[in-house]
Amino acid sequence: MNRILTLLFFLASAAPVSAQFVATKLSQEAMTLDLDSAATKRLASIEDFVAEKQWDVVATLLRQTQSEKPDKLVAIAPGWFVSVARFCQCQAALLPTPGLAAYRRQIDATAKKWLDDIQARRVLDPLRQRADLLRIVRQGFASSSADEALARLAEQSFERADYAAARTYWELLLPASGSLRSAAGLGLLRHPDPSCDAAQIRAQLILCSLFEKNAARAGQELDAFRRLHGNSAGRIAGRAGTLVDLLSSMIAGQRADASQTTPTGSLVRRLWSVELPNSSATEVGEVVPVIAGGTLFASNGQAVFAFDATNGHPKWSETSESAPDPRAAVIHSLADPTAPKLSIDGRPRHSLSVHGDRLYARLGTTITGKAKQETNSHSELVGLDIGTGEGKLVWRVAAEEVDPQDPLSASSPWCFESSPAADSQRVVVALRRSLPQEQLNVACFDADSARLLWNRKVGITVASTEEAVNSTSHLELALAEDSVFVSTDAGAIAALDAHDGAIRWVRTYVSDTVLSSRDGRRDGHTPPIYHDGVLYVAPLDTNLLMAIHAESGLLLWQREWPDPLQYVLGVTSNTLIVQGRSLWGVALATGEPAWPNRRAGHDDPEGFSFGRGALVSGEVWWPNRDELIVVSAGSGQITRRIAVRESLGLLGGHLMAFGASLAISRDAQLTVLGSDR
């Protein structure tokens, strides 16, 4: 989907708003957020001073309000909340020329000093440098220095191949396509008077599309560029000249990489199979492996296993046995595993995450909602070196140790939700505790030392905790655009600043979960999917499927889906692939079903999904109980059926494709299939 066309769509369709900065009538929310009525009243009062053109007073009030209550939330539309800090930045950027001049008399000196300090340091820690640039953008967006900070953030993002983030920062330097004083545009940011050349910025956006291997979108963007800047000269990708000519030659010279190997044929060979052991009284649950460097890693919640992905032999083991032995494949295990005393409502899920040479796992009891009578509850995160360290433990953090000063830590300890999301500097994870109220936090740790960098409350839910039944959930986070995104499955979706944890925006919706921590939630796993500046979310406590502008929290579209969705598989071309009982393609621009026959599948229970599918190079591999069905992601047509139950005696399960092979996990059973080619 062309994000420029999307922005045009929602800005042009927005209804105008006159003289109303913040929403005063709020809908009933399923999650209690950190709102501040005093800040809302003060921000609403600023419009009176704007009307009277008292610009020095307006500038002072905006700066004071942001300084005093930056992390509080205000509602700018029903279900759309932003931090006071962001709201003040939006309003400062909207001031007319005299107001902007008054604001800059108060902020420019500070922002300029921050920028000069960055430039004065000859040797910079990349994380510190990026945090300093973001401070200018987040605290002084309307200043005269913010455009340079945005340009440098975009360049940094491009250099580290984060093209979506680069696109977002460059777009903040372009004029908005419609009024920012509108129902849709009020929470959006655009720098008021960037000094950079708009033609050069738009050329960089086309370059992002090229590096993302999306020549079709680059061609569409070039057509629009030719109309706007046909004769503009500049420098792009190390070459100088007329930008249209330079970009045209780059698009013409791009060749798609056809070397990717994907599963083919009928996958009639079972390469290897193994069943993970379980020493506790509870079920293993769903095992979701990962592949890294030719090694398949898996966890049963008590240990981490490493197998050679080609033959199933234990990795880094000296055993000479020919058959795969899961006990010899253990690279790390809990020192003292314990079983919960009370039953657990929900199906446990054990996932892993990998970034570079580091593997991260969440181990311990699968409880995330602890019953009042439960005493055996423990969870921990571990970071393992899977490069030269051959699975060696690098660090360990127990959930109950995250906040030892918390007066409730003894009676109501925190529980880690799942394996964390990670980049080269940080590890972020969701935490939950049940008493005295169910509260959700997000914590961030240093990737090398596990030092706690920040721990931030997202909100408190209206759900109550059962007296004698534990519950389990599995909230995974998404990292993108220097933000952390969390879908709570409890009426709210939030974005936090990845560097300091400050909440940037929250999107709420009507939740079906109002009685207990599990009532109304369907089984599944739907972490937010970030793609090209948009967040796609299918919360488990509602039948809504949503697309949200990641930078601002603006709702692009939402649809109530007829099939209770269990998985969001990803994006290919202009189609979002989602899975419930059936398989669906969704048009990115509108949220409508994208396939002519609407879905792949039927109402026969024997044809329902039987595990999570896999999106591989324009195809969807989708399991039901007896078959693996290969579906064209573009058309929704079934291209192949592989009868794995009849030919191999296998039931469907969660799929993961790698190379020319396919891994199937079902409960504690792991099986790898190979092609007949």
Contact 358, 385 (CB under 8 A): yes
Q: ω into residue 263 within 30 of 0, thus cis?
A: no
Q: Is the pLDDT of residue 260 over 90?
A: no
Bigger pLDDT: 408 vs 224: 224
User: Among residues 486, 482, 423, which one has the least CA distance to residue 457?
Assistant: 486
Position 129 scores a pLDDT of: 87
Alpha carbon distance, N-terminus to C-terminus of the chain: 35
Q: Is the pLDDT of residue 407 over 80?
A: no
Angle at 26 between CA 23 and CA 31, to 5 degrees: 125
Contact 473, 369 (CB under 8 A): yes
| Residues 233, 243: Cα–Cα separation, whole Å | 5
Position 175 scores a pLDDT of: 83
From 20-34, 119-133, 637-651, the region with the lowest mean pLDDT: 20-34
Q: Name the residue type at position 72.
A: K
Residues 454 and 591 in one domain: no
User: Among residues 406, 395, 458, 451, which one has the least CA distance to residue 432?
Assistant: 458
Bigger pLDDT: 128 vs 439: 439
Note the pLDDT tens digit of each residue in 339-375: 888 888 888 899 999 999 999 999 999 988 888 888 8
Which of 545, 560, 575 is the last residue in one of the domains? 560
Q: Which long-range contacts (CB under 8 A, 24 or more apart) does 122-129 make?
A: 126/156, 126/425, 127/425, 127/499
Mean pLDDT of 268-282: 79
Q: Is the pLDDT of residue 9 over 60?
A: no
Note the pLDDT tens digit of each residue in 140-189: 999 999 999 999 999 999 999 999 999 999 999 998 765 655 655 678 89
Phi, psi of 192 (to 5 degrees): -65, -35
Position 18 scores a pLDDT of: 30
At 386, the pLDDT band (50, 70, 90 cuts) reads: very high
Structure tokens at 647: 């030919």
| Residues 245, 251: Cα–Cα separation, whole Å | 10
Tell whether 172 is covered by a domain.
Answer: no
At 29, the pLDDT band (50, 70, 90 cuts) reads: low
Q: Is the pLDDT of residue 19 over 60?
A: no
Position 464 scores a pLDDT of: 59
| Residues 300, 350: Cα–Cα separation, whole Å | 6
> β-strands 286-287, 349-350: how paired?
parallel
Tell whether 178 is covered by a domain.
Answer: no
Position 14 scores a pLDDT of: 35
Residues 506 and 592 in one domain: no
DSSP H/E element including 666: strand 661-666
Q: How far is CA 616 from its chain centroid?
A: 20
Q: What single-letter DSSP state applies at residue 516?
A: B
Residues 570 and 431 in one domain: no
Most confident of 121-135, 146-160, 239-253: 146-160
Residues 265 and 310 in one domain: no
Tell whether 213 is covered by a domain.
Answer: yes
Mean pLDDT of 489-502: 95
Position 206 scores a pLDDT of: 94
From 306-315, 411-420, 571-580, the region with the lowest mean pLDDT: 411-420
Tell whether 28 is covered by a domain.
Answer: no
Structure tokens at 60: 């002072």
Mean pLDDT of 232-237: 90
Which of 560, 579, 594 is the last residue in one of the domains? 560
Mean pLDDT of 194-211: 93
Q: Is the pLDDT of residue 281 over 70?
A: no
Angle at 227 between CA 221 and CA 232, to 5 degrees: 90
Q: Name the residue type at position 627.
A: E
Position 517 scores a pLDDT of: 47
User: Could you give the 3-state DSSP secondary structure of residue 120?
Assistant: helix
Position 26 scores a pLDDT of: 43
Residues 340 and 356 in one domain: yes
| Residues 554, 78: Cα–Cα separation, whole Å | 11
Tell whether 481 is covered by a domain.
Answer: yes
Q: Is the pLDDT of residue 282 over 80?
A: no
Q: Which residues does 605 contact at the CB level (< 8 Å), separation at least 6?
A: none
Q: Is the pLDDT of residue 17 over 50?
A: no
Contact 461, 438 (CB under 8 A): yes
Tell whether 139 is covered by a domain.
Answer: no
Residues 542 and 574 in one domain: no
Residues 609 and 520 in one domain: no
Q: Is the pLDDT of residue 210 over 50?
A: yes
Q: Is the pLDDT of residue 125 over 50?
A: yes
> β-strands 583-587, 575-579: how paired?
antiparallel
User: Among residues 219, 127, 211, which one has the least CA distance to residue 164?
Assistant: 211
From 197-201, 319-323, 409-413, the region with the lowest mean pLDDT: 319-323
Residue 54: count of CB within 10 angstroms of its CB: 16
Residue 239: count of CB within 10 angstroms of its CB: 12
Which of 516, 541, 560 is the last residue in one of the domains? 560
Mean pLDDT of 87-103: 94
Structure tokens at 11: 């800005």
Most confident of 275-279, 383-387, 598-602, 623-627: 383-387
Mean pLDDT of 105-117: 95
Position 128 scores a pLDDT of: 82
Residues 551 and 590 in one domain: no
Position 444 scores a pLDDT of: 97
Residues 443 and 316 in one domain: yes
Residues 336 and 478 in one domain: yes
What is the domain-level CATH number for residue 459?
Answer: 2.40.128.630
At 1, the pLDDT band (50, 70, 90 cuts) reads: very low
Report pTM. 0.91
Report how many domains make up the chain. Answer: 3
| Residues 150, 334: Cα–Cα separation, whole Å | 45
Tell whether 44 is covered by a domain.
Answer: no
Phi, psi of 280 (to 5 degrees): -95, 175
Q: pLDDT above 70 covers what percent of the chain?
A: 87
Position 181 scores a pLDDT of: 59
Position 179 scores a pLDDT of: 60
Structure tokens at 635: 């058309």
> β-strands 555-560, 534-537: how paired?
unpaired
| Residues 467, 323: Cα–Cα separation, whole Å | 46
From 377-381, 413-417, 511-515, 589-593, the region with the lowest mean pLDDT: 511-515
Task: State the chain's mean pLDDT as an integer.
Answer: 86
At 573, the pLDDT band (50, 70, 90 cuts) reads: confident
Q: Which residues does 260 contact at the CB level (< 8 Å), separation at least 6?
A: 617
Mean pLDDT of 388-412: 86
Contact 296, 307 (CB under 8 A): yes
Bigger pLDDT: 469 vs 665: 665
Q: Is the pLDDT of residue 255 over 70?
A: no
At 237, the pLDDT band (50, 70, 90 cuts) reads: confident
Contact 487, 509 (CB under 8 A): no
Residues 553 and 590 in one domain: no
At 256, the pLDDT band (50, 70, 90 cuts) reads: very low
Q: Is the pLDDT of residue 322 over 70?
A: no
Helix 84-93 with 126-139: angle, nearest 10 deg: 60
Position 217 scores a pLDDT of: 86
Mean pLDDT of 626-649: 91
At 319, the pLDDT band (50, 70, 90 cuts) reads: low
Position 403 scores a pLDDT of: 84
| Residues 671, 673: Cα–Cα separation, whole Å | 7
Q: What single-letter DSSP state applies at residue 606?
A: G
Residues 251 and 264 in one domain: no
* Integer CA distances (angstroms), 135 to 106, 116, 149, in order: 16, 13, 9
Q: Is the pLDDT of residue 7 over 50?
A: no
Which residues span the domain enclosing 527? 289-560
Q: How far is CA 58 from its chain centroid?
A: 36
Q: Is the pLDDT of residue 513 over 50?
A: yes
What is the domain-level CATH number for residue 270?
Answer: 2.130.10.10
Tell whether 46 is covered by a domain.
Answer: no
Q: What single-letter DSSP state applies at residue 6?
A: H
Q: What single-letter DSSP state applies at residue 52?
A: T
